[in-house]
Amino acid sequence: MEIQVNSIKRRNAAQKIIKLAELDKYLKKEKNYYIWIDTHYEEREYKKLLNSLSLHPKVLEHAIALNERPVLQVSKELLFSISYLPYLKKNKAIEYEEVNFILTNNLLITIKKEPNESLTKIINQVKRYDFLKDGPDNTMGHLVNYFCTEYYPIIEYIEEEKEELEKLQLEQKDKHFLVHLKQLKSLVLELKRHVIYQRTILEQIVGRKIKFINDKDSFNDAAHKILDIYHSLESIDMTLNSLLDTHLNIVSINMGRVMKVLTIVAAVFMPLSFLTSWYGMNFYMPEIHFKYSYLTFFIASMIITLVMLIVFGRKKWF
């Protein structure tokens, strides 16, 4: 757990890193300090911290719980929000890191599910630029803004995968094309769901008058980014749907070709089947006793087959 403190009156003063035991002293003088508490669920002092802040029971319930969907709650005392940071792992899998925000006039608490490289990098970057000197609302805005920026590498990865699928479809060599397409489409739908949640929260923050947020520039920037990301995902989703429709049409055309061949074969053998059925009947037929009956039947069968193939060829059936 790291607690960062900035003096409000002396904005050029260096930030302080204090211990949890010193927090009460600064909370009592909260009008003189901006405080940012950065913690995560696994720390022993986490629940002790939440209880000491006398949070609303519903906020406390959300803050302690894990894997909840993104939400925004605003009351007279504080703002509570759940966001998810997407990041692309080395194996190209997409993971989502849950981050809870608790914001008051002078206090910001960021609660992480578990530390990871992407999130740690963002938080260290925000701390390095010392956005807290302009208020905890400004710090939260920049954090959310950086979260939205993390979607762009994922969008680029999905665009590359989509282009690869388009090449495979033209070549028609990959037997697992449909499996890859469904996996990518599932990934896009999951990402869209998180983007929609994040977009809704940002629209509420930007559109509502919230007393804890004075500077909305970072939130506006984040809202524009998330809208741009949503439109990109919509475009990718439409392209994937088009690829799926094209693939199904190709399968249908190939199936039609197979059926066409089978139909031609059946049509060629139909008159031969009739002749063999006719002369296979157990009746007296004088022409059967003709000396060259077998040769005549064979030549007639070849002529019928040849004529039918010529007719099919002129009609360009094959």
The closest of 72, 95, 57 to 144, measured between CA atoms, is: 72
Q: What is the pLDDT along the chain (318 residues), one digit of tens a residue?
A: 667 777 665 555 556 777 767 777 777 665 677 888 887 766 566 666 766 666 666 666 666 666 567 888 888 878 888 888 888 877 778 888 888 888 888 888 888 877 678 888 888 888 888 788 888 899 999 999 999 999 999 999 999 999 988 888 877 766 788 888 898 999 999 999 999 999 999 999 998 888 888 889 999 999 999 999 999 999 999 999 999 898 888 888 888 888 888 888 888 888 888 888 887 887 777 777 777 888 888 888 889 889 888 888 887 776
| Domain assignment of residue 267, given as a range | 258-314
Q: Token pair of 185, please?
A: 């489409």
Instruction: Identify whether residues 283 and 240 lie together within a single domain.
Output: no
Instruction: Identify whether residues 302 and 197 lie together within a single domain.
Output: no
Instruction: Identify whether residues 169 and 217 lie together within a single domain.
Output: yes
Instruction: Identify whether residues 229 and 291 lie together within a single domain.
Output: no
Q: How far is CA 225 from the centre of its chain?
A: 16
Instruction: Identify whether residues 94 and 139 lie together within a single domain.
Output: yes
DSSP secondary structure string for all residues of 232-264: HHHHHHHHHHHHHHHHHHHHHHHHHHHHHHHHH
Instruction: Identify whether residues 278 and 225 lie together within a single domain.
Output: no
Do residues 317 and 260 make contact, with C-beta atoms less than 8 angstroms apart? yes
Instruction: Identify whether residues 53 and 155 lie together within a single domain.
Output: yes
* Radius of gyration, alpha carbons of the chain: 36
Instruction: Identify whether residues 276 and 238 lie together within a single domain.
Output: no
Cβ-Cβ contacts under 8 Å for 71 (sequence gap 6 or more): 62, 80, 81, 82, 201
User: What is the chain's length?
Assistant: 318
